[in-house]
Structure 1
Amino acid sequence: MKTKFLALATLAALGSGSALAQKAGDWQVGAGWLHFAPQDSSKPLTFTSPVAAVVPGSGASVGTSDTLGLNLTYFIDSHWAVEGVMGVPPKFKLSGEGTLGPIGELGEARQWSPTLLAKYHFNDGEARFRPYVGLGATYVWYSDVKLTPGLQGALANRLGLPPSALSATTAKLDSSFTAVFNAGVAYQFDPHWGMAFSVSYIPLKTTAKLTTTARGFPVATSESSLKVNPIVPYLAVTYKF
C-alpha cells in the first residue's frame, strides 16, 4: 500500500512538472512596465542653408520615458522562441544643452519601435526559473514631433527674423532599422502564469532635420544628429496557453 502511494505521488509530481513545461507550439503573452533610459549624445545644431554654419557649443539630451509594454512569444522548441515586443508609443522630451541650455525644453516626439527577437532559454523546459538571451532587430520611427516656442524664437533670432514674421519651424526625425541585444530571466508560477524581467540595449541614432519658414516661404534648414542608445528594462506578467 505504501509503495503504491509513493508511486502515485511520484506520478503526480511528474505530471505537475510537465504541466509547467515550455515546449514546441506554446504561445505566451505578456504585459507590463517598459522603461526607456537613453544613453544619449548629440552633435551641434548645424544650419545647412542658406549658408552652412555650426551653432557652437549647442547640444541636446533626451529624457527617460515609461510606457505599457506588450509581448507575444512562440516556442519553436523547449529552448528556442521567437518574440515580438511592442509598447504604447512613449513620448520623449528633448532638452537643450550647452548654448541651447537656457532654452530648456526644445521639443517632443513619440517613438514607435516594434521589435522581433530570437531567444534562447537555458535550463529544461520544465524548470520554473529560466534565464535567457535574445538577439533581434527593431524598426524605429517618430510621430507627433513638436518644437517649443522657445526653440522657435531662438531660431528666428539666429536668422535675424522678427518673431512676428516667423511662420513656423517644423522638424522630422529619421527612421531606421537597428539591432536589439537582450537578456533576462523568467519564472513560472503555475502552468499558465509567470513573470519575466529583461534588459535590452538598442544602438540607435537619428537625425533631426528642421525647416524654418517666414511668411510661408522656406528661409533656412538645419539639422542635428543624436545618438539615443537606450537601455530598456521590461518587467512583465506572462500567460502561457
Structure 2
Amino acid sequence: MQQKFAVVSKIAALSLFACFAAPVMAQSAGSVVVNVGWAHIAPNDSSTPLAFTYPVQKSDPLSGAGVDATNTLGVALNYFYTDNVVFAADLGVPPTYKLHGEGSLASVGEIGDAKQWAPTALVKYFFGNSKSKLRPYLGGGVTYVRYSDVELTSAFQQRVGGTIVALSQGKLPASLIPSIATSADLGSGFAPVITGGVSYEVSDNWYANFSLSYVKLKTEANLTTTYKGTVLAKSNTTLTLDPLVAFASVGYRF
C-alpha cells in the first residue's frame, strides 16, 4: 500500500512540475492582448454641392468640401476565442477632422472641424498557430460613427451669409452679413469595416502590430443659418470620407 502511494505521489509531483514547466502558448485561446499606438486616418473624400433647401431650393454646382488627413491615439482590445478566431474592439482618442473648401469654396480655406467618435467591433482570423511568432490576419466588422464639437469658421459663415443675402434679392441688406450665423449638424450611423494586418511576437508577452483598415463611410451635413435667433435658411451637403486607417501599435498579452 505504501509503495502504491509513493508511486501515485511521484506521478502527481511530476504532473505538477510539467504544468509549471510547460511553455505558455502565445496568442492562444483565452488570451487577451491590448494594443496601444498611433493611428493615421487618410480620407478618400468627396462631397455633393452645397444645396439650399429653405426658403428657396438652389445649389452651387461648383461648390465642394474636402477632409484633411488626421492622427490620433488608438487602442485595440483583442480576445482570442480560439487560437485563430479573435473578437476585437477598436477604441481611442476621438480624432479631429478639418474640412476645407473646394471649387467655388476654395477661397474660403478651412470650413470647420469636428470630433469623430467611432467605436468599432471586429472579428479577426489569425493565420498560423499559437506558436507562430509572425501572424498575419484578416477581419471585418462594423463601426458606429457620431460627431461632436462641430464648429464652422467665421470665413465660411460669412460666405454663406453673403449667398443668402444675394438670394434674398434685396430683401436682406448686405450690412447683416457679419451678424448672420451658420451652424452644422453631422449625421451619425453605422458603417462597415474591413481590416488586415500582421502581429509579431517580440517576447513572451509583447507584440508589434501593424494594420490597415478601410471604412465605407459617408455623412450628411445639415446647415442652419440664423439671424438673431430667426432661421433664414437651411442647406445641406453629403460628405463621403471612406478613410484608410493605418495603425502601428505595441501590444501586451494578459
Give the CA deviation at 1:57. 0.1
- Deviation string, structure 1 residues 184-235 (Cα, Å, up to 9, x no partner): 0000111111111000000000011000001210110000001000000001
53, 69, 72: which one pairs with 1:67? 72
**Structure 2 matches for 1:175-190, cutoff 5 A?**
175-190=188-203
Name the SS for the 1:51 alignment partner: coil
Quick check: 1:20–1:127 contact (8 Å CA) kept in 2? Answer: no
Instruction: Give me the whole-angstrom Cα distance separating, in 2, the residues matched to 1:197 and 1:20.
Output: 21
Query: Once the two structures are superposed, what CA deviation does each residue of 1:41-99 show, in whole Å capped at 9, x if it has no partner?
Result: 11000001001101120000000000000111100010001010012000010000000
Contact 1:121/1:130 (<8 A) preserved: yes
Kindly report which structure 2 residues correspond to 1:11-50, keeping only aligned pairs within 5 A, or say none. Answer: 18-50=23-55
**1:52 counterpart residue number:** 57
Q: In structure 2, what is the Cα distance between the partners aligned to 1:164 and 1:76?
A: 59
CA distance in 2, matches of 1:71, 1:150: 38
1:20 CA drift (Å): 4.5
Aligned to 1:4: none
**Distance of 2:178 and 2:49 partners within structure 1:** 27
Deviations 1:101-143 (A, max 9, x none): 0000000000000001000000111100000001100000000
Out of 226, 234, 237, the position equivalent to 1:213 is 226
2:155 match: secondary structure: helix
Give the total of aligned pairs.
226
Contact 1:194 1:237 in 2 (8 A): yes
Identical residues among aligned pairs (%): 44
- Whether 1:225 aligns to 2:230 is no
Within 2, Cα distance between the matches of 1:179 and 1:21? Answer: 30
Would you say the 8 A contact 1:135–1:180 is kept in 2? yes
Q: Which residue of 2 aligns with 1:170?
A: 183
Provide the secondary structure at the position in 1 that maps to 2:158.
helix
SS in 1 for 2:26: coil
3-state DSSP of counterpart to 1:154: helix
**Structure 1 residue 164: Cα displacement:** 3.9
Q: Which runs of 5+ in 2 are unaligned?
A: 1-20, 166-171
Q: Where does structure 1 lack aligned partners over 5 or more consecutive residues?
A: 1-14
8 Å CA contact 1:76, 1:82 repeated in 2: yes
Contact 1:118 1:136 in 2 (8 A): yes
User: Are 2:100 and 1:87 aligned?
Assistant: no
Q: 8 Å contact 1:20–1:190 — kept in the other structure?
A: no
Is the 2:75–2:90 Cα contact (8 Å) retained in structure 1?
Answer: yes
| Distance of 1:163 and 1:175 partners within structure 2 | 31
